[in-house]
Amino acid sequence: MRVRRTLVAGAHGLGLAVVSLVGSVLLFSLTLISLALLPIGVGWLTTPLVVRLTRRFADQRRVWAHDWAGMRVPSGYRPPPARQPGLPGVVQRCQHVLSDLTTWRELLWLPVDMTAGFFTALLPALLLIFGAEGFVLPALAWNGTDLDGQMYGFLSTSDPQQVALMPALGAAVLALSLFNGKLLPLHFRLAAVFLTPPKAELAARVERLTETRHDAVDASAAELRRIERDLHDGAQARLVAMGMDLGTIEALIERDPAKAKELVARARTSSAQALTELRDLVRGIHPPVLAERGLDDAVRALALRMPLPVEVTGRLPGRLEAPVESAAYFSVSELLTNTAKHADAARAWVDLEYADGRLRVTVGDDGRGGVVLPPAGGADGADGPSRTGTGMPGQGGNHSGLRGLERRLGTFDGILAVSSPAGGPTLVTLEIPCALCSPKTSSS
């Protein structure tokens, strides 16, 4: 078992050394070239792409650190900011990656990875190769092969006595290689020095997670209050009234059959209305179509119920986690509802996309625009999934309903971006990092 772990560590180290040298040299060169092209404008296009490739390269190293050495190396990437009207998206993306300290830490890590990182990764394989060479060279020398005084460490093949000592040195090196499992983590510890964010960034991250957790708790409490209120003022009141009617019917059924028949009809109407209200309440908590068919089909069903034409494009490759689906669905529902109420729009559209571990939903309309995302700390006009604020896409002005959506998405590290020039169109983009729970299956 120990020998197997030694061989596996050597193989991992050899592959890691090749990846470190080739990948780091290539990415470091591309980054420098891209930064040098910033003054002429080309770098604004290439820098975000090169930084994205570097982050994937670093993230893969984090995966290997966990799988091969049991080490966790946090990333600490800043989430993309909300889109700013008036600035091209390419410029905003480039500004974001250049202002992120993680970008510069990874740039400093690349030259270290191609030098010291290359050596520390190659060391386990070198021990195995050097140890085996201590047996191969004497065998070749004793078979009459002319090695022309080749050196093995401090031993020379031109001296028969030194040749006889080579297997002993090789055995000692192979014995040392049994500690390969402890040598390989040196490479990842070196990478962690550059790839781990400072404590200040981690503290800010913890603060952000604490804030979003409080938001989630507050939203859940507000949603429970809404459900209790809707039950008390709606279905419960109708059921109480229906019970009173049934009591009156029991007293009148023999004395005044005509009046009793009228009350039966009223009770039947009340029961139908109570059932409708209960169905609406259940749909507001978690729509059955969302649970059964997934987010894309639920959004398409939602679009059919809107009073204006809504086109839904895109298909998700599978099912997402239930909380993510619910948050995305009710966000889209709130956006479309307020668009229909306030946007003066002739049509709206929703685009669904899942790529690179992120759900991206874009909701747009051809209304009058002028929507502005309010500053953080304002009132939140969206306490629960079914509540709609008074100002959303399409209604010009500064709207706290959008801030409520942003706080809801923040629970999942999601972001909300708004583009709404005066005169329209309005585009609201939601992005939530998430994983697929299961692939999409065809339904009959």
Instruction: Report the candidate in 314, 365, 358 with the shortest Cα–Cα distance to residue 343.
Output: 365
Total of domains in the chain? 3
Whether 403 and 315 share a structural domain: yes
Domain end, chosen from 285, 304, 334, is at: 285
Q: Is residue 103 part of a domain?
A: yes
Residue 200 within a domain: no
Mean pLDDT confidence for 260-277: 77
Q: Which of 195, 220, 247 is the last residue of a domain?
A: 195
Joined tokens for residue 100: 């992120």
Check whether 435 has a pLDDT greater than 50. Answer: yes
The confidence score (pLDDT) of residue 112 equals 92
Q: Between 384 and 222, where is the model more confident?
A: 222
Q: Is residue 61 in some structural domain?
A: yes
Sorting pLDDT into bands at 50, 70 and 90, what band is 78?
confident
Please give the average per-residue pLDDT across 7-36, as a whole number. 86
Check whether residue 76 and residue 179 sit in a common domain: yes
Tell whether the model's pLDDT for residue 273 goes beyond 80.
no
pLDDT at 384 over 50: no
Q: Do 214 and 350 share a domain, yes or no?
A: no
Compute the distance between CA of residue 444 and CA of residue 442 in angstroms, rounded to an integer.
7
Q: What pLDDT sits at residue 322?
A: 81
Residues 135 and 221 grouped into a single domain: no
Please indicate, yes or no, whether residues 74 and 119 belong to a single structural domain of this protein. Answer: yes
**pLDDT digit string (tens) for 200-215?**
555 666 666 666 566 5
Is the domain of 9 the same as that of 73?
Answer: yes
* 444 belongs to a structural domain: no
pLDDT of residue 424: 73
Average pLDDT, rounded, for the chain: 75
User: Which band of pLDDT confidence, cut at 50, 70 and 90, is reported for residue 383?
Assistant: very low
Q: Higher model confidence: residue 86 or residue 356?
A: 356
Based on the domain organization, do 191 and 329 belong to the same domain?
A: no
One domain, residues 388 and 253: no
Poorest-confidence range of 219-223, 265-269, 331-335, 341-345?
A: 219-223
Q: What is the residue type of 153?
A: G
The string of DSSP codes covering 333-376 is HHHHHHHHHHS--S-EEEEEEEETTEEEEEEEE-S---EEPPPT
Choose from 24-28, 81-85, 415-419 the range with maximum mean pLDDT: 24-28
| Same domain assignment for residues 258 and 302 | no
In this model, does residue 220 exceed pLDDT 70? Answer: no
**Residue 188's pLDDT band (boundaries 50, 70, 90)?**
confident
Name residues whose C-beta falls within 8 Å of residue 404's C-beta, 6 or more positions apart in sequence.
380, 381, 382, 383, 389
CATH number for the domain harbouring residue 320:
3.30.565.10
Mark whether 168 and 305 lie in a shared domain.
Answer: no
Q: Is the pLDDT of residue 100 over 70?
A: yes
Q: So what's the pLDDT on residue 84?
A: 58
Structure tokens at 183: 């040598």
Question: Does residue 411 lie within any of the structural domains?
Answer: yes
Domain contains 201? no
Identify the residue with better confidence: 382 or 277: 277
Query: What is the reported pLDDT for 136?
Result: 64
Structure confidence at residue 177 (pLDDT): 65
Q: Which domain holds residue 146?
A: 2-195
Asked if the structure places residue 398 within a domain, the reply is yes
Question: Is residue 202 in a domain?
Answer: no
Instruction: Please check whether residues 15 and 48 belong to one and the same domain.
Output: yes
* Least confident span in 46-60, 157-171, 188-202, 374-388: 374-388
What is the C-alpha separation between 269 and 348, in angstroms, rounded? 36
Most confident of 12-26, 204-218, 253-267: 12-26
Please indicate, yes or no, whether residues 253 and 292 belong to a single structural domain of this protein: no
Residues 6+ apart with CB under 8 A from 4: none
Residues of the chain above pLDDT 90, percent: 7
Look at residues 139, 166, 195 and tell me which one is the last residue of a structural domain: 195
**Residue 395: per-residue pLDDT:** 43
Handedness of CA 130, 132, 136, 139 (dihedral sign): positive
Predicted confidence (pLDDT) at residue 184 exceeds the cutoff of 70: yes
pTM for the whole structure: 0.47
User: Residue 94 corresponds to which amino acid?
Assistant: C
The amino acid at residue 126 is: L
Assign 27 a pLDDT band (cuts: 50, 70, 90): very high
